[in-house]
């Protein structure tokens, strides 16, 4: 009889461990839409780390809660920086962002980020709703940092 209780206890412990791991450590994310095309296509399955979100760096891909749903975007501007878009180019504190992350079609604008805000853009800039539309996102809206692509 003791072994049945022991097995049941082990089963409960495993279920609690899986629940804890899934809700507090890692989570899978499915990409919908083509705002990240070039990096992740619609239907891609990603693994997102939910802990250590204070270690977000420029150009990391993060999962953000917009209030309606989660989106996957790339970090361009860091807390305390000034991000400007002028003539379809991105500038951080007046310095042009070089490489493929330096372009952003659309109107000219300037955002001054608070100490807990990030400026995010989709990699497919012509087909992305991002900080250019809804402004910088607070650190409290960041749900995870993409660490691995599971599929394809």
For each of the domains in the chain, give its residue range(s) and CATH number, in order of start: 27-151 (2.10.109.10)
Q: Is 141 a catalytic residue?
A: no
- Choice among 44, 73, 128, 141 that is catalytic: 73
CA geometry: angle 85, 89, 92, nearest 5 deg: 60
Chain-wide mean pLDDT for the chain? 86
pTM of the model: 0.83
- Residues ≥6 apart with Cβ < 8 Å to 49: 25, 26, 144, 145, 146, 147
pLDDT of residue 29: 84
Q: Find the mean pLDDT for residues 5-24.
A: 68
pLDDT tens sequence across 26-35 = 787 889 889 9
Q: Which of 21-25, 108-112, 123-127 comes out lowest in average pLDDT?
A: 21-25
Q: Is 73 a catalytic residue?
A: yes
């Amino acid at each position: 009889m003791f072994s049945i209780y022991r097995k049941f206890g082990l089963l409960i412990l495993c279920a609690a461990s899986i629940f804890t791991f899934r809700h507090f450590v890692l989570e899978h994310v499915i990409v919908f839409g083509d705002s990240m095309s070039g990096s992740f296509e619609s239907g891609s399955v990603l693994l997102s780390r939910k802990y250590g979100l204070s270690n977000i760096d420029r150009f990391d891909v993060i999962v953000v809660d917009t209030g309606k749903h989660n989106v996957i975007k790339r970090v361009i501007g860091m807390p305390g920086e000034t991000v400007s878009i002028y003539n379809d180019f991105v500038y951080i504190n007046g310095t042009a962002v070089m490489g493929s992350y330096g372009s952003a079609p659309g109107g000219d604008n300037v955002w001054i980020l608070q100490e807990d805000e990030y400026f995010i853009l989709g990699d497919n800039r012509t087909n992305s709703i991002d900080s250019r539309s809804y402004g910088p996102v607070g650190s409290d809206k960041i749900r995870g940092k993409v660490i691995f692509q599971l599929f394809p």
